[in-house]
A and B are shown apart, each in its own frame.
Chain A
Amino acid sequence: MTEGTAPETATPPRIRAASVSKLFGGNRAEARRLIGEGLDKVEILRRTGCTIAVNDISFDVAAGEIFVVMGLSGSGKSTLVRCLNRLLTPDAGRVEIDGEDICAADDDRLRALRLEKITMVFQHFALLPHRTVAENAAYGLKMRGMTPAARREKAHQALEAVGLLPWADRLPSDLSGGMQQRVGLARALALDPEILLMDEPFGALDPLIRQDMQHELIELQARHRTTIIFITHDLNEALTLGDRVAVMKDGRFSQVGTPSEIVLAPADDYVSAFTREIDRARVLPVSAALRGSMVEGAESLPGVPADTRLSAVLGQLGQGPLRVVGRDGALKGVVTAADAAAIAAPPGKG
């Protein structure tokens, strides 16, 4: 797979980032010139005092895709996501939303884009403490210039979707962290966005709440087919949610691929260091364990969809092999307990 291109799609990408770079501090003009000369990050910092937060990154995201950027703090992932709605303006490169170069957009156009198309959920929720839950959820609608009655109704719908309608007239401080982030999500969903940027949205939540929120997000996404850019520092979360995952380090992508590709074929030592600790059965689909050859009498075996996670069928596999079928119901192959165990075992042990 070539780096950063969306998988098997004919439609134009919803988001395209082309050679995006973002610098902070120092002599940025000089730093840009040195980047052009191909100098590395450390040398540029020494010569110009510029930190390169995002270094020449390119990728496409297809409509309806969940694209996860995973990286540790300081990897530049939050900076990257802020370039996509131009909270930060890239120092080099282009960002296109549905083919429109947003780096060329003026303030009015940017505001329109943020209200109609591309919205955001923040790590620490960023709710207004002096406004009620409903008023917070209606914030974007108010900025759109909607009447109070209309935006209240729309905000209530959004709160209903995240299960918080009974709390509409409370203040955010009355709510738990998980509930506050649902308000943040409702505020974004109230705008019916086509693109949702999520900057470590579950990073501040307890592990259990976090899992619930992940599942809810997957359900919401299945219903609305929103394109999601999801930032996280947690590889498990990245692999659970992502249609594709980009592993980011020092302002660059180390690898971009499907969760299976990341786990089964890590591009370098950095990525494989992360994947070693992963519960592979929870990440890999049964199709990853497919046996090349057909087993006699496969038709009579119980069938599972190809994208089911291995962990979900381990119990069934104990009773015998399973037939794996594609979305159209066509037979793709057969998986056995031994195959599953082999592929789910951590590298170096089996």
Chain B
Amino acid sequence: MALLDSITSAADVLRPSAHAILPLDKWIQSAVREWLVPVMRPTFRAMQWPVAKVMDGLEAVLLGVPFILLLVLAGWVAWRAKGAWLSAFTVASLLLLEWLGLWAATMVTFAMILTAVAFCLVIGIPLGILSARSDMWERALRPLLDIMQTIPSFVYLVPIVMLFGVGMVPAVIATIIFALPPLVRLTNLGIRQVNRELVEAGRAFGSTPRQILWEIQLPLAMRTIMTGVNQTLMLALSMAVIGALIGAGGLGLTVYTGLGRLDVGYATIGGLGIVLMAIILDRITEAFGSGDAARRRRKRK
């Protein structure tokens, strides 16, 4: 036994932690605190401005418009997209949420999601196009997207709070980071999957690269891109509760508050709101993506 013990303790000499702990966490802490935050804070504060504008505008509109008008509008959009069943489901769900006293919270969450998705579109589609057109861009973006998708969102909540403060806008920014990757990936994939012969035909008929993009690649990639939009939307919704941790309102806050008070009922109705919203938005965007909506329109003509 003594022999075994001495072998074990001799082997422990090889363990680096027996001598010192690598203080990587301290280094990151000081790098973020002493460099990133003081130096970059003004830049990040400025970046907040467009997000805040869009978010505030949307929230004001959604909360300002009469309830009944939004209800009719939502029913109409669902009907155009998929038909009577989805329309009925949408109207019933929204009525239920209103009845539960969650209308304002639903609209706040909806405004957050729309803002995040709008910025994802503006950033993600051009990045997707870039990486479809150049292997170098694709190689450069891929690890970044991998990190954005795999890193737990709790990890970047702290630096986001340090850089942007707390509130709605930082929550939207965290949502953008989390929801962006599938759109970039699927835009890239959609364009790369367009039949090579078609792109070649575009060139053979005197098209510029820009014309090939608009006339051939984007229309043919649209289905895949819409799948990306759908995925982005769903990811954004899934951030609603996490956003509440850093000061976002809406349905996420309902869930978070319920959690804090150990009020299962309150947390559940908040969660129900998020689920209903997810189902409605998923079905509508899926219908537009698969071309169902366009087919229905053509049939009616």
Contact = CB atoms under 8 A, between A and B. Distances in A.
Interface in A119-155: 119-120, 122-124, 126, 128-130, 139-140, 142-144
A241 to B, nearest CB: 21
A128 B216 contact: yes
Interface in B166-219: 195, 197-198, 200-201, 203-208, 211, 215-216, 219
Nearest to A187: B205
A123 B204 CA distance: 13
B203 A115 contact: no
Contacts of B208: 107, 111
Contact of A126 (B200, B206, B207, B211): B200
Given A122-B200, A126-B198, A143-B211, A111 B206 contact: yes
A120 B206 contact: no
A115 B219 contact: no
A81 to B, nearest CB: 10
Contacts of A124: 195, 197
Interface residues of A, number: 25
A111 B203 CA distance: 8
Contacts of B216: 128
Interface string A109-122: 00110110001101
Contacts of A197: 204
Contacts of B203: 87, 114
A85 interface: yes
Contacts of A115: 205-206
A126 B215 contact: no
B219 A126 contact: no
A139 B206 CA distance: 10
B55 to A, nearest CB: 35
Contacts of A114: 203-206
Contacts of A82: 200
Nearest to A188: B205
A6 B266 CA distance: 88
B220 interface: yes
Contacts of A123: 197
B214 to A, nearest CB: 11
A187 B206 CA distance: 12
Given A122-B204, A143-B206, 11 more contacts: A115-B206, A120-B201, A122-B197, A122-B201, A126-B201, A128-B216, A129-B220, A130-B220, A139-B205, A143-B211, A187-B205
24 contacts: A87-B203, A111-B206, A112-B206, A114-B203, A114-B205, A114-B206, A119-B204, A120-B204, A122-B197, A122-B204, A124-B195, A126-B195, A126-B197, A126-B198, A126-B201, A128-B215, A130-B219, A140-B205, A143-B205, A143-B206, A143-B207, A144-B206, A191-B205, A197-B204
**5 A-B pairs with the lowest CB-CB distances in the bound complex, closest first:** A126-B201, A115-B206, A120-B204, A114-B206, A111-B206
